[in-house]
Structure formats: structure tokens, C-alpha cells
């Protein structure tokens, strides 16, 4: 495998304006995410953005940024365009999509997403963590993963839902929206129209399942903090305070 890590980032956040450039201990949030991706040491890292200020923040710290169109409906579409600009020769066969609002993502979690890609049948891989909070079991904003355990912390995806599923005794799994894509699968995915279940659940990954793509997931210990509100930002600042390190 020859992975490329791509971090999509844009400024259009209604709940937290200018989110990628908000300061966390002297660095823009997007730079923290870029640093975590570099620390994973799985391949080259680049930020895909439609905002010049985001690109300049990354370049100011020695990173690679690629400008993309403004109209993209999702991060998957944005990284697909960025991939074509960065690697038209097709050298990178795996793309790891790390969301730009996950400053506490661990390098180990990024590396874990690549495990299932050793099997050619896997079109894309993702991450899950066991739900321990009772409130999260029923919260619609917590996306649940339903799948078959394969052993070694690996699962094959059967469904993703905002409902509480599956029913009955046993663990529930919180889906973490980080993806490792096979390049051919990403190209196929962005060419497909949104699927019925995707539109109903408002979950993009269901398009891949409805198209027959195999998705495997790896267990990780913790759900990284997604920064969507001012309270999230303050929590991220506490978690990334000097003297506290994100686990390798």
C-alpha cells in the first residue's frame, strides 16, 4: 500500500464560525489535526481546502495544502478532487480521510484504519468505539455501527444508523467518521447519486453499503473529540494543554 492522508477543511460552520483557524494553544485547529496525521507516519499528508487562509496556515508550518472548489457537498468529494490535483499519476492507492475538526485524534487511530485495507475485498475502512454512556445509546447524533465481529477488533459493516441498534444484549458501537478509501472505491463512490438510505438517515457511508461496497471497521479505545461548538473548543484546549500529550 502507498497511502496518502488527506484532511478536508472549510470555513463554512454555522455553529462555530472560522472553526479550522481557531486557536488552540498558539496553533490553528487545522494545524493540530495535520500534526496528528504526520505523527501517524503512514504516508504523505495534505490539507484539501477551498479557503486560502487555511492553506496558508498549513504552508506556514511546512505542510502541503491544495485548493479545491467551493461547491463540494462532502469531504469525500473534496478529497477526490484534491487527489486528482496532487497525484494525477495514480501513485497513491489508499486515501485516509481525516476530518479537519478532530484535533485530539490519536496517531494510533489513524494507523488502525489501514489494517483492513490489506484485504483486496475491502473498499473502505473506518473506526468504532464501544458505547459506555447510557445517554449515547439513544442519542440520534451518535451514529451506531452494526456489524459482524471478525476477531482481533475488526468488524464487517452491515449498517449504520442514528437509532439504537442492534436490539438485545451486547455492546453498541459508536461510529467514528474517519475513513481509509481504496482509490478505485472513492472514485466509484463520488460518481454515485445519494442513495435512499443515505438520504433518510443522513449518513453518507450508507451510499457505499447500498452500492455493495464492503466496509470493515477497527475498534479503538476512545472517540476523538469533534469540535462543533464553543464548549467543544474549550474542551479541546484542556485536552491539548501543554504537558498533556495525545497518545501515539
Q: Pairing mode, if any, of strands 23-24 and 124-130?
A: unpaired
CB 65 within 8 A of CB 46: yes
With b meaning 16 or more CB within 10 Å and e meaning fewer, what string describes 98-117?
Answer: bbbbbbbbbbebbbbbbbbb
pLDDT given at position 70:
87
Cα distances from 226 to residues 98, 139, 176, 233, 243, in angstroms, run 11, 16, 10, 9, 21
Q: What stretches in the chain show pLDDT beneath 50?
A: none
Q: Pairing mode, if any, of strands 173-182 and 94-97?
A: antiparallel
pLDDT digit string (tens) for 114-161? 999 999 999 999 999 999 999 999 999 999 999 999 999 999 999 999
pLDDT given at position 247:
60
Strands (E), the chain: 3-9, 23-24, 27-28, 44-49, 64-67, 94-97, 124-130, 144-151, 154-161, 173-182, 215-219
pLDDT given at position 75:
86
pLDDT given at position 29:
96
pLDDT given at position 245:
61
CB 2 within 8 A of CB 43: yes
Amino acid at each position: 500500500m502507498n497511502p496518502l492522508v488527506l484532511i478536508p477543511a472549510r470555513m463554512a460552520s454555522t455553529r462555530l464560525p472560522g472553526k479550522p483557524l481557531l486557536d488552540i494553544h498558539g496553533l490553528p485547529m487545522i494545524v493540530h489535526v495535520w500534526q496528528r496525521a504526520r505523527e501517524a507516519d503512514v504516508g504523505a499528508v495534505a490539507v484539501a481546502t477551498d479557503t486560502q487562509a487555511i492553506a496558508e496556515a498549513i504552508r506556514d508550518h511546512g505542510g502541503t495544502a491544495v485548493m479545491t472548489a467551493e461547491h463540494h457537498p462532502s469531504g469525500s468529494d473534496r478529497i477526490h478532487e484534491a487527489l486528482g490535483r496532487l497525484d494525477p499519476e495514480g501513485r497513491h492507492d489508499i486515501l485516509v480521510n481525516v476530518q479537519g475538526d478532530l484535533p485530539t485524534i490519536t496517531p494510533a487511530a489513524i494507523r488502525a484504519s489501514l489494517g483492513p485495507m490489506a484485504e483486496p475485498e475491502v473498499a473502505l475502512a473506518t473506526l468504532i468505539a464501544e458505547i459506555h454512556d447510557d445517554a449515547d445509546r439513544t442519542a440520534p447524533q451518535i451514529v451506531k455501527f452494526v456489524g459482524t465481529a471478525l476477531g482481533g477488533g475488526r468488524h464487517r459493516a452491515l449498517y449504520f444508523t442514528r437509532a439504537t441498534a442492534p436490539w438485545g444484549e451486547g455492546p453498541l458501537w459508536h461510529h467514528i467518521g474517519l475513513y481509509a478509501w481504496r482509490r478505485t472505491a472513492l472514485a466509484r463512490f463520488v460518481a454515485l447519486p445519494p442513495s435512499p438510505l443515505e438520504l433518510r438517515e443522513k449518513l453518507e457511508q450508507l451510499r457505499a453499503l447500498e452500492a455493495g461496497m464492503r466496509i470493515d471497521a477497527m475498534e479503538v479505545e476512545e472517540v476523538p473529540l469533534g469540535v462543533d461548538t464553543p464548549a467543544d473548543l474549550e474542551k479541546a484546549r484542556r485536552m491539548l494543554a501543554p504537558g498533556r500529550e495525545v497518545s501515539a
